[in-house]
Amino acid sequence: MAGLHSFAHRASARIGRRQFLGSAATAAALIPARLLWAEVSASGAMPAEVAAVSGEGKPVALTAAEIKELRAALKGKLLLAQDAGYEEARRVWNGSINRHPALIVRCENRDDIVHAVQFASAHSLLTAVKGGGHSLSGQSTCEGGIMIDLSSMRDIQVDRDKHLARAQSGVLLAALDGKCQEAGLVTPLGTAADTGIAGLTLGGGQGRLMRKLGLSCDNVSSFELVTADGKVRKVSASENPDLYWALRGGGGNFGVVSGFEYLLHPFAHPVLAGGRTYPFSQARAVMKGIADMAANAADEVYLSAGIDRSGGEGTLPKGTYVEVEFVYSGDPKDGERFLPMLDKLGKPLNDTITRKPYVVAQNGPTGAAPPALPPGLGVYVRSGFTQAITDKLIDESIHAFEQGPPWLDEVSFGPIGGQVARIKPDATAYWNRDAQYEFFLIGAWMDHSQDEHNVAVMRDMWKVFEPFTKGYYVNTEPSATEARLKATYGDNYARLVQLKDQYDPKNLFRMNANIKPTAHA
């Protein structure tokens, strides 16, 4: 996902420069009355009752005995608001999302997931599932419900001979990329090292190798899934094939995935990868040039372009620039033949394209640790699929930066196509396979007193861009309207509703780009 890649890397450099409005006073003012302490037990450690909410927003009172029973069943921890670790666990990547689940189950294994799902189902609780916590719209946490937190489940097993990797649901991209590359193998993942594999893969999984190897979800050979009835199901082409179809692009709608099995491909050579930065004044020529080049490029070429506010962290002064990312995933010698085409775009202010190990292209200079993302950064992202980067779309992008607020962070696009487009749209739930590009609009700020205002401004701004798009990538935002969700899932939508009726008729798993079961439509 091109735009978000450059965004993530630039964002990490900003920490410390921008103000983090996270004072205790601010936080206290933001905390709603989430726990109604009917009575505190003699020890003071456990409330007699915990006030929670249902998926429909109705109050649910959980008794101390019920909480105690759940706690006793778990290998992992059950955290209430007063427990150590709760504050850290409730947080997600997007700093504008400040929600307080009534309880957090920190799962250690599949059985913990089963207990948590059974508990959530039995009490009809509002339910959020946290893999890597990177949901841009904060779908992995909730106000007053239960958070099923998988972030401690990080085991990875690579089978070098069978070309398979088994990974638990709390694994982050950097760890899986690293383990696979140790064996000279790869599976296509996303572009930001600290994203969770779970949310990323279930929604599709776009990244630097997708044109060559397909989406992440196209490379899953099996899932282990806990459905809303608490049953554990093996999901593959031969077992529960209907769910195998739905989990590849249908997001978190069908249950909690406890583990993924990925197909691996031999990939042991360096890649030619990096970025070029151009002055904002060249935005029109560079964006148009990249869009044309990308549309006709070989599958090995990953190219993206965008306008963003960056600089200041490297050699360039802070300002508005045009950024291009290039990755050639075949033999670097072949990739070098592509560079003269890029040179025609003009002299860049900065050029980091060079041969490097794949993990360095993915994970930054050390190739090992995920980049430190700035805690507290508030983000709002809208995106949509488009067939063409037209002159009008480029003009509107430039206009947005000329006239828009200083916290408008990025307008960008990344090409899709290649192997993604070769798979039939109805072969998996992920429908928009013929989309040529994904287009992004990203705002980012640290002053959370402005959250509501800034989101409203972004929504208005998106009204200009949405008509250029058809459908959107579900991993960037929850469903805005049913019409938009239908454009996203196309002819697959009806089958997804049928499967939702079958496996989650009460819509327990609704914090996602939600496919509503018939009874809830």
Ligand X SMILES: Cc1cc2nc3c(=O)[nH]c(=O)nc-3n(C[C@H](O)[C@H](O)[C@H](O)COP(=O)(O)OP(=O)(O)OC[C@H]3O[C@@H](n4cnc5c(N)ncnc54)[C@H](O)[C@@H]3O)c2cc1C
CA distance 78 to 86: 9
Does 256 help bind ligand X (rule: CB under 6 A)?
Answer: yes
- How many residues line the site for ligand X (CB under 6 A)? 39
Closest CA to 140 of 93, 204, 79, 190: 93
Draw the binding track, 234-253, toward ligand X (x: CB under 6 A; -: no contact): ------------------x-
Q: Shortest distance, CB of residue 381 to ligand X, whole angstroms?
A: 8
Tell me which residues in 99-118 interact with ligand X (CB under 6 A): none
Contact with ligand X (CB under 6 A) among 5, 14, 248, 448: 5
Query: Among the candidate windows 57-65, 123-131, 279-287, 416-424, which touches ligand X by CB under 6 A?
Result: 123-131
Which of 62, 104, 136, 345 touches ligand X by CB under 6 A? 136
**Residue 39 amino acid letter:** E
What's the closest the beta carbon of residue 215 comes to ligand X, in angstroms?
8
- How far is residue 167's CA from residue 187's CA, in Å, rounded to a whole number? 12
Within 10 angstroms of residue 336's Cβ, the number of other Cβ atoms is 13
Q: Which span sits near ligand X by CB under 6 A: 133-141, 271-279, 335-343, 492-500?
A: 133-141
CB of 410 to ligand X, least distance (A): 11
The reply to whether 12 sits near ligand X by the rule CB under 6 A is no
Instruction: Write the single-letter amino acid at 17.
Output: R
Say whether residue 129 binds ligand X (CB under 6 A): yes
Distance CA 242, CA 393 (A): 39
The 143-182 contact track toward ligand X, x by CB under 6 A, reads -------x------------------x-------------
Helix pair 391-403, 451-465: axis angle to 10 deg: 160
Distance of CA 138 to CAs 209, 291, 322, 348, 400, Å? Answer: 26, 31, 28, 36, 25
User: Which residues, other chains included, contact 483 with Cβ-Cβ below 8 Å and sequence gap of 6+?
Assistant: none
CB 194 within 8 A of CB 174: yes
Binding mask 474-503 for ligand X (x = CB under 6 A): -x----------------------------
Our finding on whether 214 is near ligand X (CB under 6 A) is no
Does 76 participate in binding ligand X (rule CB under 6 A)?
no
For 459-473, b/e burial (b = at least 16 CB within 10 A) is eebbeebbebbbbbb
**Residues near ligand X, by CB under 6 A:** 1, 4-5, 7-8, 92-93, 129-136, 139-140, 150, 169, 190-192, 195-196, 198-200, 202-207, 252, 256-257, 475, 511-512
